[in-house]
Amino acid sequence: MQKRWKIRKHDANAVNKLASELQVKPLIAALLIARGHDNAQRAIEFLNPSPEHLHEPFLLKGMREAVDRIQRAIDNKEQIMIWGDYDVDGTTGTVLLRKMLSLLGSDSTFHVPNRFTEGYGINIPALEQAQKDGVSLVISVDCGIRSFEPLEWARDHGLDVIVTDHHLSDEIRGNPPAVAVVNPNQPGCPYPDKHLAGVGVAFKVAHALLRENGIEHEVPQFLKIAAIGTVADVMDLTGENRAIVRMGLLDLPKTKNFGLKALMEVSDCRSEMTSMHIGFRIGPRINAAGRMDIARHVVELFEAPDFSKGRELANLLDSRNRERQQVQQRITELALSEAAGSDDQHFIIVAGEGWHQGVIGLAASRIAEKLYRPTIVLSLKDGFGHGSARSIKGFHLLKALEECADLFEQFGGHAAAAGMKIAEDRIAELRERLNQYAAATLKVDDLIPELEIDALVTSGTLDMELVDDLSDFEPFGAGNPKPVFLTRDLYLVEEPFVMKDKHLKFRLAAENNRYFEAVWWDGVERSKGQTLKPNSRIELAYVAEINNWQGNRRLQLVVEDLRTDN
């Protein structure tokens, strides 16, 4: 699909002023200003995240009540259960809280629901079993903010529950009846950073309790696990999240955790660690446990007693991830086939009998990206559809679903992603109503993907030194993407080389006799409608990277989009 190019404009005077103050290239100054770091102090803080950038944990509404109840449970040797969601955010948060409680002398248990038999969130049967097993306090991670009926049951049966979550609460019903709710996105919470991941909220709880017990110096050791969950959950890497991830990444290669070390080896992350390594290697393998099998394997991995057990579990996650890739490809192809002919739709809903629930969210992401429409993919079973939804820029998904709340058995999520359960005979009405809502909400341009280009760069200034300078902007990810540059008057030297039947690799020449290597992931599909012939003039939108292969460093241009003169 052809993208709209939006080339960012820069104030030359402001750029030159900041470049002079920081003693950096004007392009670096321009990028800093574009990201909101428009004076020297803000820029220096952005480029040098530190522990001072972590906010006061007790600014979180409900934190004092949560800490007091947990501390009482620790002091009285009560049985505590951590209830984590089955995705990477919830499992890493579960590991983090159990480690914190262990430091404070509490031998906690944990429960991670099975996606296929229990579904998302807190459920009554598991709470009943926990109480029978002697549990008197349950602490949720990355779930619970909309678990009204289960928490009402817990309240009525004398089982205390603390909810730690980051999802949006129900605007009408408010918070569920918990002993405490710790969530930066709950109404009335003054916490300055609303972008914490579920594992980030768990980290703040751990920080508060470690301080209360006089061992705040132990806080940095929890940054590694918080960084993994934050990146893998695709949270904005700005503000406090940036500090958490930047500091956590520094220590990851030196980890002594048997399971994490084994997982890094299996994922080929031995010598360096960036947010991209977490997002594309570590994270998918952790998530695969909850998607394909039993998410508790992730907790067991991080708590492996020796490297042998860690390697066994890391290999298991790796095999589940390969299985996930195969199933995902098959379900995505089926879903795309179902979505064919939906060009007149503003909101795409596809459903299939028995589609694997563990990958429908990934299929929804793929359809939303390819067709550029908000999308729901539903797996049908026993008269119900279990679905995952993904949105596009500018469309608040949860608000759209709330307009159809009467149709769902249950639902929840945020602006970009959501999950739901719906009776099969209500899907047609859901499709109609969401399309009406989206048609009234989205403009024509909203349905054309936009590529934001950070700056025009001449071929003469494009080199590896520039890319090295950009490393100070790490960690890259949501909210802080890798800069996209545009270089004009490049020429295609030869026919593109096709890799694995779907990627393109080619060489480009500039008028100053400089040559560049470019790679276009999924370029075979994405280049449809473009004629790539030798000597074609190319306007290239790309991310500049260093390709480090067997110790050889080369400049590589990763294509985001291109235009030819044909």
Residues of the chain within CATH 3.90.1640.30 domain(s) are 55-217
Whose CA is closest to 423, among 335, 346, 351, 334?
A: 351
CA 358 – CA 253 distance, rounded (Å): 30
Whose CA is closest to 124, among 93, 86, 155, 78?
A: 155
pLDDT exceeds cutoff 70 at 428: yes
* C-alpha separations of 32 from 15, 19, 44, 414, 454 in Å: 9, 10, 10, 28, 11
**What would the two tokens of residue 547 be?**
């390709």
Q: Would you tell me how many other CB atoms lie within 10 Å of the CB of residue 104?
A: 18
Query: pLDDT confidence of 315, banded at 50, 70, 90?
Result: very high
pLDDT exceeds cutoff 80 at 343: no
Report pLDDT for 413.
82
Please give the helix or strand (H or E) that residue 447 lies within, else none.
none
**Residue with token string 């007149």:** 344
DSSP 36: T
- Bridge-based pairing of strands 135-141 and 79-84 is parallel
Residue-averaged pLDDT of the chain: 94
Q: Which CATH entry fits the domain spanning 340-447: 3.30.1740.10, 3.10.310.30, 1.10.287.70, 3.40.50.720? A: 3.10.310.30
What digits encode the pLDDT tens for the residues 52-74? 899 999 999 999 999 999 999 99
CA atoms within 13 A on the CB side of 417: 12
Q: Are 166 and 143 in contact (CB under 8 A)?
A: no
Residues of the chain within CATH 2.40.50.460 domain(s) are 450-564
Report pLDDT for 566.
61
CA 33 – CA 387 distance, rounded (Å): 40
Q: Say how far residue 422 (Cα) sits from the centre of its chain.
A: 25
Question: How much is the pTM?
Answer: 0.91
Q: Are 506 and 493 in contact (CB under 8 A)?
A: yes
Tell me the residue type at 184.
Answer: P
Q: What is the DSSP string of 224-256?
A: HHHHHHHHHTT---SHHHHHHHHHHHHHGGG--
Q: Are 91 and 289 in contact (CB under 8 A)?
A: yes
DSSP 78: -
Question: Domain 55-217, what architecture?
Answer: Alpha-Beta Complex (3.90)
pLDDT exceeds cutoff 90 at 120: no
Q: Are 94 and 112 in contact (CB under 8 A)?
A: yes
Diameter over CA atoms, the chain: 77
Share of the chain above pLDDT 90, in %: 86
Report pLDDT for 414.
83
What digits encode the pLDDT tens for the residues 179-199? 999 999 999 999 999 999 999
Report pLDDT for 45.
93
Contacts of 6 (CB under 8 A, 6+ apart): 450, 451, 452, 453
Whose CA is closest to 99, among 222, 201, 205, 214?
A: 222
pLDDT exceeds cutoff 70 at 254: yes
pLDDT, average across residues 17-37: 96
Report pLDDT for 172.
85
Q: Cα-atom radius of gyration of the chain, to the nearest Å?
A: 24
Q: Are 279 and 235 in contact (CB under 8 A)?
A: no
Whose CA is closest to 390, among 421, 349, 429, 435?
A: 349
Residues of the chain within CATH 3.10.310.30 domain(s) are 340-447
- Bridge-based pairing of strands 109-111 and 408-413 is unpaired
CATH T-level topology, domain 450-564: OB fold (Dihydrolipoamide Acetyltransferase, E2P) (2.40.50)
Q: Say how far residue 328 (Cα) sits from the centre of its chain.
A: 18
CA 85 – CA 111 distance, rounded (Å): 9
What digits encode the pLDDT tens for the residues 354-400? 999 999 999 999 999 999 999 999 999 999 999 999 999 999 999 99
